[in-house]
Structure 1
Amino acid sequence: MKKLSDIKQLKLYLWLGAVFLCLHLISYTVQGESDLPFRSINETWLVLYLTAANCWLLEYNVPKLSWRKPFRSILRLLAAVFIYSMGLFIWRQLGVTLHIFHPLGAPIEISERLSILTGHSASSIFFFALVRHIFNHIKLKQDAQQLRIASQQAELNYLKSQTNPHFLFNTLNNIYSLARDKSDLAPESILRLSKILRYMLYETSGPYIAIEQDLKIIDDYIALEKLRYDETLRVSFNHDLENMKQSLPPLLLIPLVENAFKHGVSETRDRPFVDIHLAIKDRQLLFIVKNSTGDPAGENKTKANIGLSNLRRQLELLYTDYSLEVQQEAFVFTATLKINLATHV
Structure 2
Amino acid sequence: MKKLSDIRRFQLYVWLVPAFLLLKLLTDTLNGADDFLVLRGVNVAWLTIYLSVVNYYLLECTLPQFSWKKPVAGIFWVLLYLGIYSFGFYGWRTLGATLHIFTSLGPAVPTGKRIGALTGLGIGSACFFAIVRHIFNHIKLKQTAQQLLIERQQAELNFLKSQTNPHFLFNTLNNIYSLARDKSDLAPESILRLSKMLRYMLYETSGPYIAVEQDLKIIEDYIALEELRYDDSLRINFNHDLEDRKQSLPPLLLMPLVENAFKHGVSESREHPFIDIHLSIKNRRLFFIVKNSTGDEASYPDVRENIGLSNLRRQLELQYTDYQLEVKQEAFVFTAILKINLDTHVQDKVHHHRR
TM-score bracket, shorter-length normalisation = over 0.9
Residues 84 and 121 in structure 1, CA contact (< 8 A), matched pair in contact too: yes
Residues 14 and 51 in structure 1, CA contact (< 8 A), matched pair in contact too: no
1:111 is aligned to: 112
Residues 300 and 329 in structure 2, CA contact (< 8 A), matched pair in contact too: no
| In the alignment, structure 1 residue 298 sits paired with structure 2 residue 299 | yes
2:349 is aligned to: none
Displacement after TM superposition at 1:200 (Å): 0.3
Summarize the alignment of residues 54-65 of structure 1 with structure 2, pairs less than 5 Å apart: 54-65=55-66
| In the alignment, structure 1 residue 168 sits paired with structure 2 residue 176 | no
Displacement after TM superposition at 1:33 (Å): 2.2
- Secondary structure of the structure 1 residue equivalent to 2:256: helix
Displacement after TM superposition at 1:27 (Å): 2.9
Distance in 2, matches of 1:46 and 1:130, equals 20
Residues 291 and 333 in structure 2, CA contact (< 8 A), matched pair in contact too: yes
More displaced 10-residue stretch of structure 1: 273-282 or 70-79: 70-79
Summarize the alignment of residues 120-131 of structure 1 with structure 2, pairs less than 5 Å apart: 120-131=121-132
2:289 is aligned to: 288
Displacement after TM superposition at 1:244 (Å): 0.5
Distance in 1, matches of 2:301 and 2:343, equals 36
Residues 303 and 329 in structure 2, CA contact (< 8 A), matched pair in contact too: yes
1:180 is aligned to: 181
Distance in 2, matches of 1:10 and 1:90, equals 27
Percent identity reads 68
Distance in 1, matches of 2:110 and 2:192, equals 96
C-alpha distance after superposition, 1:104-132 (max 9, x if no partner): 22322221111010011122112111111
1:26 is aligned to: 26
Residues 300 and 330 in structure 2, CA contact (< 8 A), matched pair in contact too: no
Distance in 1, matches of 2:258 and 2:201, equals 16
Displacement after TM superposition at 1:32 (Å): 4.9
Summarize the alignment of residues 201-220 of structure 1 with structure 2, pairs less than 5 Å apart: 201-220=202-221
Distance in 2, matches of 1:116 and 1:342, equals 58
Displacement after TM superposition at 1:59 (Å): 1.2
**Aligned structure 1 segments of 4 or more residues deviating by more than 6 angstroms:** none
2:261 is aligned to: 260
Residues 28 and 36 in structure 1, CA contact (< 8 A), matched pair in contact too: no
2:351 is aligned to: none
Structure 1: stretches of 5+ with no match in the other structure: none
Distance in 2, matches of 1:211 and 1:189, equals 23
Structure 2: stretches of 5+ with no match in the other structure: 347-355
* Aligned AA (2:136): F
Distance in 1, matches of 2:223 and 2:117, equals 84
C-alpha distance after superposition, 1:13-51 (max 9, x if no partner): 231110111112223334252211111111100001111
C-alpha distance after superposition, 1:266-304 (max 9, x if no partner): 111111111100001111111000001011032796332
Displacement after TM superposition at 1:199 (Å): 0.4
